[in-house]
Structure 1
Amino acid sequence: MLWDYAHIRLIDIRHMLFKAGDKLTSYRFPAAGFLYMVRGNVVFRLNGNKHAAERFHILHSGKGGQLDIDWVREEMEFYFIFYKASLSLTSGSGVRRLFERNSPFQKQYEFAPNAPVALLSQVKEMHRKWLDSSSLERIQIKAMLYQFVYEVERQRQAYGVYPVKPDLVEQAVRYIREYYSQPITLSSIAEQLNYSVAYVAKQFKSKTGTSLIDFLIRTRIDKAQELLLNTDASLQEVAAGVGYTDLSYFIRIFKKTTGVTPGNFKSLALGSAKGSDRPKIRLRLSNAGWAEPSYIVNDHDNHYQYRRKGDLPMVRNTNMSMGAAMLLCLVLMLSACSSGNSPVNSVNAGPSPVSSVQTETSPPDSAANSKSTRVYKDSQGHEVDIPERPQRIVLQGNSIGDLLALGIQPVGVDRRFIEESVYLDKETTPAQDIGFPTNLELVLDLEPDLTMLGYVMDKQYEEVSKISPTVVFDQSKPLSERLPVIGEIVGKKAEAEQLLSEYNRKAENMWSGLHQEGKLAEGETAVVLIYYWNKTMYLMKTGGIPALLYQPQGYKMSEAVKEIEPAEGAPYIEVSPELMHKMLIGDHLFVIYPANADAENSFNELMKTALWSSLPAVKSGKVTFVETKWNYDDMLTSSMLLDEFPKLLAK
């Protein structure tokens, strides 16, 4: 999907020749790109992983990937194709989150294509046209690049034909381990291996002692456990990544196999890890006060993250028709072994930091409230009959903390925004993970009486509105504007205004205290930098931490920073080390960072440079480091940050 939304710019096409005995040491990809080997015999390493390749070999790496060619056995001819992918300013936040978390442009892989001739012809023609300076030719090259990518991806996904025919059972095992994330049945494997179903089943059972399907399930569950422990993927992404498109079925089969739900498995494993001598991941900063991060599994960021190595398979948006969705749900209900919705995650209930609004479970008049309706006009002009007090809300977007602060426990959410939050324990009843892109079949199964869309993709509104009353709101608005809208939608406008009033009063008290204690001078300026594991940096002016800093009684934004805007066609304000002195203008510097080893290592390298040491805020010791989990502006996070912020300044 991201290939559709992204702006792709071809940077360079190079034709290269290496003689026998030549080497290439620590070559870094200047951009995402392909290496297509036409002829030769070579041993190479991609980010330390050793491979041997002959003619017609393809490898792909994201920007910064390290390539080492240890030994060219015979003359090697190859092409480099470099490109840059970016999102437009008009891209929705959901697309941006997908770009941050699961970018295909950073993936690293290598393989020998089964049908290399078509690829070779495309590459040669692209290179020929690239050497032509005509702008018209360059337009055609871009179209050819998409054709090349399609052919590479098609062959890569179809790759799996082994040059030597192995033992039947070994072949079946290898097939399962390689394609466990794809739809697999006993019949499909038998067809792939050119044997009868009965023969494959008998041979597999005889040699392994288990059925092929049981082995497939065990393989998928083992992979799911790895993803749950070692990645920040949501349950929907994990399920899809191991071959289960139905989240409810995945949860049932996981529990049947392991004895616990996926959420309980992750909670228990993390609890055990925290009690052991597992090292805490933290930044070691020597020249400025910093916030000690608590250990978190999720290492992706709020708004601007480029996904690290080890990408998960993209969740597929099937665009199933409503009729097909209804039929599927009917079949699932008839075949289900148990009733009710399985919890998506296990969390312990805790007191809300916003004390004035109590959690609302099932009030005595809930039935009457849910039946009474009113007409609401949403941000896109839809006039919708919605319940006065909806009881079963599904939310698409990142405003979960707003609903929880209002005492609303939604039945369905995109759990990525729960799992990486500072309020993990604020759900009394964990909501079902509707995934991203939103799984409409799951939404249908939840039977919502109201669906709230913080953003809309394609013709999604028409599809969702067939399931339940659906309203669209702008989740990108600041808290002071967004919370009253959400409060009005859920029938709690007065409570929303009360929360904002208490928040503003609490913020004024916090800022007054900081001024009185001498921790904040009148007119003191601040600038916010968000830093990433791959050494990319961005200047932040709105949302998250800046939304707190630039409150009336807080820090000021310097006039120089006010004038800085993103480059044309760029979604964010990128900062290079050479431009730090021209862009990071403020008395106090706030650095937002992800708590992971990659960010630590790369940031420590930056801190050793003269450019960093000579920054005014660094020289004066006014640098504060904040984990990305605080970089949200929902009501729960914002309220908790008021308590945390003075502690950050004191460190």
Structure 2
Amino acid sequence: MENADDHLLLWDYAHIRLADIRHLRLEAGGRLDSYSFPAAGFVYMSGAAAAFRLNGQMHTAKRFHILHSGKGARLAIDWVKDELDCYFIFYKSSLALSAGPGIRRLLERSSPFQKDYDFVPDAPVTLLLQVREMHRKWQGAGRLERIQIKGLLYQFIYEAERQRQLTGAGAGRPDLVEQAVHYIRECYGQPITLSSISEHLNYSAVYVAKQFKKKTGSSLIDYLIRTRIEKAKELLHTEASLQEVAAGVGYPDLSYFIRIFKKTTGLTPGGYKALALENAQGSDHPTIRLRLSNAAMAVPGYIVDENHYQYNRKGDSSMYRNTKISMGAAMLLCLVIMLSACSGANSPVNSAGTGATPAAPASQTQTAKPAAESNAASTRIYTDSQGHEVEIPANPQRIVLQGNSIGDLLALGVQPVGVDRRFIEGSVYLNKEQNPAEDIGFPTNLEKLISLEPDLTMMGYALDKQYEEISKVSPTITFDQNMPLTERLPLIGDIVGKKAEAEALLAGYKTKAEAMWAGLHAQGKLAEGETAVVMIYYWDKTMYLMKTGGISDLVYQAQGYNMTDEVKAIEPPEGAPFIEISPELMHEMLIGDHLFVLYPTNSDAENSFNELLQTALWSSLPAVKSGKVTFIDSMWNYDDMLTSGMLLEEFPKMLEK
């Protein structure tokens, strides 16, 4: 009969050396014929249900399973329901020289290193993370990494044995939410999303989000943010730099860390540290009490500045370095933090810098046909840009939009309930602060999407696996937000049941645009055949020539300016409306009769641009010499219907400045 204490004693006296780590993935219906263990080892199974035999004994696995056997053991996997990942962890053991005769006799009677056993882990994610980390580091590991892997192996053995004993004692298994909380507390320093946690737990993201909210009253991402800020507060009492603190709690973007720290605590990181030091003065042994707030906090959108537009280098990046703590205390705190972690906008329309893949080429057809007769009055079947046939409301009332086509919906009289608010805050819309649409962030916060309960989600672009996740929340269609306004607006109008209104808007726009150009010609502000170049300039001194999209779509209309041969010849990357040029090429590329310069109105951009204005190259440009340079705030560089309509009113005024 197994004596757990004896086995633990032998583990304690043993030297364990990792021999190999292997990963095997079996697809649905796959099998593994009899496989012989080259050394004692564990097998961690993660994924689908499976039937396997260990040394001839039949077993079944569901989702997560661990087995152990000695050298020469034979494992056969006879059947896999779905995709199954198997991690083989082989090790070699030997008793320490300090082991006395009694220990050696105990090993001869009952060796834990040769024993067959299997169990369902109590907290499977903890072990899965350890296994994956070992496997990742084992690939091409050097001598230094081997030392770390040895430590990880001992952690895995400890955790596996601990969970096996709990299982044997009949301890209750942690529920889904407890496992998610444990995952966050262990791995807050790593990139974490709702999708990644759900994948580790083998549940859908929608189900995890709902269960977490139901049990805790807070969203999973809110809890993650609070955990990271809690850990950041601890690290702020060390000599770590602010950048090191931010990276250590999962925020490699320092400016974003400062913003979210202030949003969560009301203080900048430096301000928090200064206040803590002030409170600690006068005490020989100050204690900083860290308490996790139970107050619900809104999740800020993840601001990814797709084309530098909202870049802000200002912020609290200084650290107070007059703190004195003992070396022992500092080392202890750092060790605790290390062990608790897992080792570990505005942009032009049709921007190429989003990192997103357009939903489909603009030429792809999208059609709608009647749904079943029972639902014909309220729903219909729509075929989107990626070929999905989706049953959508005939007149959707709660639309969530992923993308930059917000102005198209607003122009059609459709108020979405959720959008990426960067495209509102960086727009020229009137009363934009009062727009009630809630922020879904970037990338789209799936929990926020769920809470909005949309009856239709429109995706102007799709990141990896997004459609699969979002379509579980609501009817979801994709469209290409990079299509020209004349093609995109009727398509969006068709989706939301306002195709006639869309066509009427475009007809009105065309009439007003023709009248505007006729007026400019009549006033002598635009000569027949006059050429123009549209340029974007950023704070980091990069410049681009625009060929399509935004301001260019207006400037190069048939009655407007002509495109220069140099601009006609450029070929921007696929899906992009512009191409980068170097300052040295200004005299070759910026040679139109008129020059339109777009730049963000912030101090960094202005200072950088003022430097350009002082150069000889700039002064030699034809448009500069003739005084035909028009500076335009980059907020106008959208081609949505709302902005385009407003631009017709403003463009003549811009030419007068």
TM-score (norm 2): 0.47
Higher relative contact order (CA 8 A, sep 6+): 1
